[in-house]
Amino acid sequence: MNADAPEKTIEIPGYEGRVVEARKGARIRITDVEGCQIGDLFLISRDDTMEVFSPALTRLVNFTPFPRAGQPFISSRRRPMATLIADDSPGVHDMTFAPCDPEFYRALGAGDDHPSCRSNFEQAMRSIGLPIAVYPDPINVFQNTPVDAEGNYILGSTLTKPGDSIELRCEMDLVIVLTACSTDVPLDGVQPIGGKSTPLRLEVFR
């Protein structure tokens, strides 16, 4: 058996989300299967679901807008949850935007039943019987929303190509939810994910 073969491989279809539990020391690889797809990544402590990922504390500890390789993602209790260990993508990600939710799509005229990352997160947590004690902010993997010189967000299409990936190492036992972002509607004339949500792959390595 290949020593680097994943212990678990989870395919996340477009417009959906999946959950996995990973032990401290495990490596997590997130791959954009077809390219141009954002993933909303939620990190929750397996031992206490009140402890969740904190983008504000992560920025404070690292003093960077997004961790560089070797830097941690920090919890609401100021503990390292995971460390970014490799980024084989264009390196463009976000830690400022909330997950898309039903209200977001209703405001855009997409109707009441449009899939959303918030709803997919809730469904993934229900699937393993865990309560949502606190709603974590996501790590918006591959999301292309830089800030311009005047302090405004620039919305761009996702830059990833098929097979682009990032890897994290778990620094505690985690519940991990990954959703394939559903923003298939144009925003200010830009299609962030190319007009259709497409698959992501989540692999867990010992």
Q: Where are the beta strands (DSSP E) in the chain?
A: 8-12, 17-22, 27-32, 39-45, 72-74, 80-88, 139-141, 165-170, 174-180, 200-205
Residue type for position 191:
Q
Residue with tokens 């311009």: 148
Q: Mean pLDDT of successive 10-residue segments in the chain (206 residues)? A: 82 98 98 98 97 98 97 98 98 97 95 96 97 95 96 96 98 98 94 97 96
Which structure tokens are listed for 80?
A: 């390292």
SS3 at position 196? coil
pLDDT of residue 4: 82
Residue 18's DSSP bridge partners are: 178
What is the rounded CA–CA span in Å between residue 30 and residue 56? 23
pLDDT of residue 194: 97
Give the pTM.
0.96
pLDDT digits (tens, 9 = 90+) for 10-30: 999 999 999 999 999 999 999
Which of left, alpha, beta for 83 (phi over 0: left; psi -120 to 50: alpha)?
beta
pLDDT digits (tens, 9 = 90+) for 36-51: 999 999 999 999 999 9
pLDDT digits (tens, 9 = 90+) for 175-192: 999 999 999 999 989 999
Domain locations in the chain as residue ranges: 8-205
In this structure, the dihedral spanned by the alpha carbons of residues 117, 206, 142 and 102, taken in order and rounded to 10 degrees, is 0
pLDDT of residue 3: 58
pLDDT of residue 1: 42
SS3 at position 125? helix
